[in-house]
């Protein structure tokens, strides 16, 4: 179970209260609003609903969402937001599926409850393989990353490296010199892997698993860092207890910026070469329970300044667990808004404009204006120069 999961939403969803039906889709909120096509049924009379979206990743043809309550993976169309398929069943070994990542050949899902990693076919959603057993040393696997033909899995006290082409175990990285302790997030690019843990970040060499350095010290302002993203020349580290994000240079341990005084607690990060998007929740700090509050901040890679903040009420972002970039679109998986069951929100990564919301709040067609009115908010996102 994720550190950030809301105990309240888990209780409600497990009791069946979340199993309403489905999707609200919206037009642009700052220009002319128009309704977009929604979907949420599979054939005549068959409906679906989220339980608690935990992870999200994107391919050219699909947006993939893991759900730790329904033990499913949902695939949506990037162009329409329509449901393509629901992937569930014993053969997938999903038990609290959490981290999810796409590489060139597969969709990899880490299940924290059953200590397995499942690879899916991007074309069919079928099982390619399931990695399980003591040799992998999976223990509550949650963070997962893909780079250079490798899959990296963050466990409680070690990192497992797999061959992305074959699923074969390459190595398990563990030992006191790595200073691993209660791992949640991991990021990889090229020949580098970054693992936030404790009040440090461990940097590994991807080709050998060897330790490059332990990044630590007061100047980095690490405060329970546990999520990470890498893009371009920058590595972004979210500080769970510090309401801050530390930006590092990819080469060496160079400190670029520390963005302090974020409005909420960083729970997930997605990044491009020029910006980072930080999903946050105000109720999660120091607790496993979270309220329905949440927001997403866009940060400048050049200055570390907050460009804009996307609010919960306007965009149906509450207890956001994961965020991913797909071209010029940002997709956010949230567990607890507007009610039990959660939602997936799509916005423009260029303007921050709302595109659509996929939710289990009940099947309906709506416009952005109607969505905003229902949420009881007419405020625009706060802009900070």
Render pLDDT for 341-350 as a digit per residue (tens, 0 to 9).
Answer: 788 999 999 9
Q: Is residue 60 classed as helix, strand or coil in its secondary structure? A: coil
Give residue-wise pLDDT tens across range 316-343. 788 899 999 999 999 999 987 655 678 8
pLDDT value, residue 314: 74
Structural tokens at position 248: 């590092």
Calpha distance 145→152 (Å, rounded): 5
pLDDT higher than 60, residue 379: no
pLDDT of residue 313: 72
Q: Compute the average pLDDT of residues 212-236.
A: 96
> Mind giving me the DSSP string for 93-135?
T-SSEEEEEE-SS-EEEEETTTTEEEEE-TTT--EEEEE-SGG
pLDDT beyond 80 at 240: yes
Q: In this predicted structure, what is the pLDDT of residue 66?
A: 97
Res 377 pLDDT > 60: no
Residue 258 pLDDT exceeds 70: yes
Buried b (16+ CB within 10 A) or exposed e, 74-85: bbbebeebbbbe
Q: What is the pLDDT of residue 286?
A: 36
Q: Which residues pair with 353 in a beta bridge?
A: none
- As a whole number of angstroms, the distance between CA 316 and CA 139 comes to 32
For 303-314, what is the mean pLDDT? 87
| pLDDT tens readout for residues 44-97 | 345 677 888 999 999 999 999 999 999 999 999 999 888 899 999 999 999 999
Give the pLDDT band of residue 117 (cuts 50, 70, 90). Answer: very high
Which one is predicted more confidently, 52 or 285?
Answer: 52
> Would you say domain 7-375 falls under CATH 2.130.10.10?
yes
Neighbours of 302 (CB within 10 A): 12
**Contacts with 237 (C-beta within 8 Å, 6 or more apart), sequence order:** 194, 196, 201, 222, 225, 227, 228, 245, 246, 247, 248
Cα 12 to Cα 155: distance, rounded to the nearest angstrom: 28
Domain ranges of the chain: 7-375
95 vs 143: CA distance, rounded Å: 15
- Residue 281: predicted pLDDT: 84
Q: Which residue has the tokens 């405020």?
A: 379
pLDDT (mean) for 287-291: 39
What average pLDDT does this structure show over 291-317?
85
Q: Is the per-residue pLDDT at 131 higher than 80?
A: yes
82 or 121, which is more confident?
A: 121
Q: Is the dihedral of CA 210, 212, 216, 222 positive or negative?
A: negative
Candidates 135, 133, 86; CA nearest to 114 is 133
Each residue's pLDDT tens digit, 164-211: 999 999 999 999 999 998 899 999 999 999 999 989 999 999 999 999
d(CA 84, CA 191) in angstroms, rounded, equals 35
More confident residue, 127 or 316: 127
Q: Where are the alpha helices (DSSP H) in the chain?
A: 7-14, 312-315, 368-375
Distance separating alpha carbons of residues 86 and 74, to the nearest angstrom: 5
Q: What distance separates the 2 farthest-apart alpha carbons in the chain?
A: 59
Among 237-246, 252-261, 314-323, which stretch is predicted with the lowest mean pLDDT? 314-323
154 vs 362: which has the higher pLDDT: 154
């Amino acid at each position: 179970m994720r550190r950030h999961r809301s105990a309240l939403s888990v209780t409600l969803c497990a009791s069946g209260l979340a199993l309403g039906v489905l999707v609200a889709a919206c037009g642009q909120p700052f220009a002319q609003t128009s309704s977009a096509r929604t979907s949420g049924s599979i054939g005549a009379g068959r409906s679906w609903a989220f339980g608690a979206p935990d992870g999200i990743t994107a391919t050219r043809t699909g947006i993939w969402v893991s759900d730790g309550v329904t033990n499913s993976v949902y695939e949506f169309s990037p162009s329409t937001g329509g449901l393509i398929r629901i992937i569930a069943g014993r053969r997938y070994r999903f038990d609290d599926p959490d981290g999810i990542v796409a590489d060139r050949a597969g969709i990899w899902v880490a299940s924290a409850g059953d200590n397995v990693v499942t690879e899916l076919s991007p074309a069919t959603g079928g099982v390619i393989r399931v990695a399980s057993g003591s040799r992998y040393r999976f223990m509550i696997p949650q963070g997962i990353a893909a780079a250079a033909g490798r899959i990296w899995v963050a466990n409680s006290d070690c990192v497992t490296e797999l061959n992305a082409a074959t699923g074969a175990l390459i190595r398990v990285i563990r030992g006191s010199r790595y200073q691993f302790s209660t791992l949640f997030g991991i990021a990889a690019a090229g020949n580098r892997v970054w693992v936030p843990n404790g009040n440090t970040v461990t940097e590994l060499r991807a080709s050998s698993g060897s330790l490059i350095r332990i990044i630590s010290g007061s100047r980095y302002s690490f405060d329970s860092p546990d999520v990470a993203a890498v893009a371009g020349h920058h590595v972004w580290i979210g500080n769970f207890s510090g309401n801050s994000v530390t930006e590092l240079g990819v080469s060496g341990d160079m400190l670029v910026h520390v963005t302090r005084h974020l409005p909420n607690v960083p729970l997930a990060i997605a990044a491009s070469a020029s910006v980072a998007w930080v999903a946050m929740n105000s109720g999660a700090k120091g607790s496993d329970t979270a309220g329905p509050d949440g927001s997403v901040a866009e940060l400048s890679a050049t200055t570390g300044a907050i460009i804009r903040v996307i609010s919960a009420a306007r965009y149906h972002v509450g207890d956001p667990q994961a965020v991913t970039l797909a071209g010029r679109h940002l997709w956010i998986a949230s567990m607890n808004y507007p009610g039990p069951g959660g939602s997936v929100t799509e916005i423009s990564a260029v303007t921050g404009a709302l595109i659509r919301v996929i939710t289990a709040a009940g099947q309906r067609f709506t416009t952005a204006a109607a969505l905003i009115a229902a949420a009881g908010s007419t405020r625009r996102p706060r802009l900070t120069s």
